[in-house]
Amino acid sequence: MHKIKLSLVIQLISVLLLLLVPIQLSGDTIAPVNITEAAKEDWPKIISQLEDAYNRYPNNPEIKNSLANAYNNYALVLATQKKWSSAEKYLQQAVQTNPTNTAIKQNLSAVYFSHAYDLYQNYPQTSYSSSSYNTAKQLVNQAIAANANNAHAYILLGDIENANQNLAAAAKAWQRAAAIKPSIPGLQERLVRVSRDASAEANMNTKYNMFFIIKVDPEVEKLAGFDINEALDSTRIHVSNDLNYTQNIKIPVIVYTVDNYKESVPDAPSWSEGAFDGKIRIVLTKYKNNIALLKSTIVHEYTHAVIQDLTNGNIPRWFNEGIAKYMEYKYGLPPRINYLAQAFNSNNIIEWDKINDAIVSPNVNLAMLAYQQSFNFVYYMVQRYGMSKLRALLDLLGTNMAFDTAVLQTYGVPLTTIQRNWQLWLPDFIAQWAEAPVPAIPDA
């Protein structure tokens, strides 16, 4: 009787082996290689049959390998559905069942990495604390333990360390990734940036804040009449309330002297007072007595941080800048519109399909016009439709919806119609916001 059962099991396994070849991932991250076909299988039933067979015949290598492969394949199907815990459990069982299978270990590493990356990218959905980063860091270390050559895991580890201002640890992780796979896009740029930051921040002091990781150059730390903590906290409250935003992680804030700012952000235009690239970077000198301008810069850059969170970066640069300037208008210094007025009067308004390039133009006059035009358009949208519509638009952009589509869905009219109506409205606005013309700034 047992011989007949064993014969039936062997026949079953020989058929299943055709299906249960381990599904390998392309590189270090999950890719749908054969997973579409695998998803059609009834894996729980197959696994149950194989587990029963393995319990009866634990020394049969075909049953053992097939069971490990079944765990592996089902895990990858679960991973594509972002059922991370279940996927990791089945891959752990696959490794325990067949510890010599390198492909399965690589898959386990890839799933740990993908889980960590998903958590790292979607931390706003977690409660406020550093727990999301800590969990992501734990997972990425497990990915490295399962596959020491997972270069993407080292990159993510460096990103996590960098976000927490652990620059030496970030550099170490990225250097390890470069030793494994130096051609990964963005890796060399990370190494250059962390080297610059480490140099510029070497002698900076750290200030405590519940919502920010603040580093300040000692030369400017004691600027009379200015408190970086107070400015950041006030900005966070105002901007977050307007955009219905909850800050869930600490944002790095670096306060530089002019020279250190140029060293750390060498591509910033000469007129730049700050930048946001995942970190808020502010230029502050001990000779600067325009506290209102400093606070306005902080409002601008913090708004960029909020928009990055809300949209995952899926927003045209000009519109991003327009919102940041609008927040300055509300909580900092009202932006000037002298360039916009001159452009309107001379029929030189920037065409909308060219405004992104104008924002970063080396021509300072053109860049200033682009900023003023972007601000004024956002100002018009909020006056005409309300702040709640703008917030709804940012939510849709956060789903990776195209900008034109999101505008149409939010406002009920095409973007081109709003732009045309803005230009019809503009003359009255300019008349009400009259400013004395200022001399043109020479090209940079």
Q: What is the CATH number of the domain that holds 258?
A: 3.40.30.160
Claim to verify: residue 332 and residue 219 sit in the same structural domain: no
At 441 the pLDDT is: 38
Say which CATH number the domain at 321 has. 1.10.390
**Distance in angstroms (rounded) separating the CA atoms of residues 210 and 402:** 35
**Distance in angstroms (rounded) separating the CA atoms of residues 44 and 48:** 6
- Residue where one domain finishes, among candidates 81, 112, 143: 112
3-state secondary structure the chain: CHHHHHHHHHHHHHHHCCCCCCCCCCCCCCCCCCHHHHCCCCHHHHHHHHHHHHHHCCCCHHHHHHHHHHHHHHHHHHHHCCCHHHHHHHHHHHHHHCCCCHHHHHHHHHHHHHHHHHHHHCHHHCCCCCHHHHHHHHHHHHHHHHCCCCHHHHHHHHHHHHHCCCHHHHHHHHHHHHHHCCCCCCHHHHHHHHHHHHHHCCCCEEECCCCEEEEECCCCCCCCCCCHHHHHHHHHHHHHHHCCCCCCCCEEEEEECHHHHHHHCCCCCCCCCEEECCCEEEECCCCCCCHHHHHHHHHHHHHHHHHHHHHCCCCCHHHHHHHHHHHHHHHCCCCCCHHHHHHHHCCCCCCHHHHHHHHCCCCHHHHHHHHHHHHHHHHHHHHHHCHHHHHHHHHHHCCCCCHHHHHHHHHCCCHHHHHHHHHHHHHHHHHHCCCCCCCCCCCC
- In a structure prediction context, what are the per-residue pLDDT tens digits for the chain, which is 444 residues long? 333 344 444 444 432 332 334 444 444 554 444 666 666 788 899 899 999 999 999 998 888 988 998 898 899 889 989 999 999 999 999 999 999 998 899 999 999 999 999 888 775 443 334 567 789 999 999 999 999 999 999 999 999 999 889 999 999 999 999 999 999 999 999 999 999 999 989 889 999 899 999 999 887 777 767 888 999 999 999 999 999 999 988 899 999 988 888 888 888 887 788 999 989 999 876 556 677 888 899 999 999 999 999 998 999 999 999 999 999 999 988 878 899 999 999 999 999 999 999 998 889 999 999 999 999 999 999 999 999 999 999 999 999 999 999 999 999 999 999 999 999 999 989 888 765 444 433 333
| Pairing verdict, β 251-256 and 280-283 | parallel
Write the CB contacts of 111 (distance below 8 Å, at least 6 apart in sequence). 30, 75, 76, 79, 84, 87, 88, 91
Claim to verify: residue 348 and residue 428 sit in the same structural domain: yes
At 17 the pLDDT is: 31
Phi-psi region of 244 (alpha: psi -120 to 50; beta: other; left: phi over 0): left
Q: In one letter, which amino acid is 70?
A: A
> Vertex 276, ends 307 and 216: CA angle to 5°?
130
- Residue where one domain finishes, among candidates 276, 309, 342: 309
- Residue where one domain finishes, among candidates 112, 144, 173: 112
Claim to verify: residue 304 and residue 326 sit in the same structural domain: no
Is the residue at 187 inside a domain? Answer: no
> Vertex 342, ends 338 and 346: CA angle to 5°?
170
**Distance in angstroms (rounded) separating the CA atoms of residues 23 and 19:** 10
| CB contact at 8 A, 294 and 231 | yes
Provide the domain count of the chain.
3
Greatest Cα-to-Cα distance within the chain, rounded to the nearest angstrom: 102
At 11 the pLDDT is: 44
At 435 the pLDDT is: 53
Is the residue at 163 inside a domain? Answer: no
Give me the sheet containing 212-216, strands edge to edge.
Answer: 205-207, 212-216, 251-256, 280-283, 274-276
**Distance in angstroms (rounded) separating the CA atoms of residues 215 and 56:** 63
Claim to verify: residue 328 and residue 302 sit in the same structural domain: no
Claim to verify: residue 357 and residue 415 sit in the same structural domain: yes
- Structural domain containing residue 318: 312-444
Claim to verify: residue 317 and residue 432 sit in the same structural domain: yes
| CA pseudo-torsion sign 86, 92, 97, 101 | positive
Claim to verify: residue 211 and residue 286 sit in the same structural domain: yes
Is the residue at 215 inside a domain? Answer: yes
Claim to verify: residue 341 and residue 258 sit in the same structural domain: no
Nearest 10 degrees: CA dihedral of 369, 374, 380, 385?
Answer: 180
Is the residue at 174 inside a domain? Answer: no
| CB contact at 8 A, 73 and 38 | yes
Q: In one letter, which amino acid is 152?
A: H
Claim to verify: residue 355 and residue 417 sit in the same structural domain: yes
Is the residue at 165 inside a domain? Answer: no
Is the residue at 180 inside a domain? Answer: no
Is the residue at 249 inside a domain? Answer: yes
Claim to verify: residue 209 and residue 329 sit in the same structural domain: no
Is the residue at 183 inside a domain? Answer: no
Output the pTM of the full model.
Answer: 0.79
Claim to verify: residue 404 and residue 337 sit in the same structural domain: yes
Nearest 10 degrees: CA dihedral of 202, 208, 210, 214?
Answer: -30
| Pairing verdict, β 251-256 and 212-216 | parallel
Claim to verify: residue 293 and residue 369 sit in the same structural domain: no
245-299 confidence digits (pLDDT tens): 999 888 999 999 888 888 888 888 877 889 999 899 998 765 566 778 888 999 9
